[in-house]
Amino acid sequence: MASPRELKYFPELTDLPTAEQERRLAAAKAIAFGPDTRLERWRGNLIQFFLMFAGSAGFMALLAPALELSQDTAAIIMLVVVLPMFFIVQQRRYLRLIRQALQSPQP
């Protein structure tokens, strides 16, 4: 069941009744995150993990020493900047997948 918090991210559904909005959003989630797209999601998750890991390792190994940051300061920057950025990117990816499923023809 879709919550009003979720529905606010999909303004293309606002002209529909609430029950229809929830039905379409649930169907889009089933399309976007169903078993037939599992391998695509795994691949996307692995790619994003390796990109985040490479960026974090590069920051800790190359950029932090070049900027003469202590390990503690570099770790705090990672927690305050990199981790929230990861969550934001994941949320946008989640919404993009649902939005694509909403735009595809539904059964």
The domains of the chain are located at 4-103
Q: How many of the other CB atoms lie within 10 Å of CB of 69?
A: 16
Alpha-carbon 101 to chain mean position:
15
Q: Can you tell me the mean pLDDT for 88-95? A: 91
Give pLDDT tens digits for 13-47.
Answer: 888 888 888 888 888 888 888 888 889 889 988 99
Confidence of residue 106 (pLDDT cuts 50, 70, 90): low
Measure the CA–CA gap between 103 and 52, rounded to whole angstroms.
29
Write the CB contacts of 80 (distance below 8 Å, at least 6 apart in sequence): none
Give pLDDT tens digits for 50-89.
Answer: 998 998 899 889 988 999 989 899 999 989 988 898 899 8
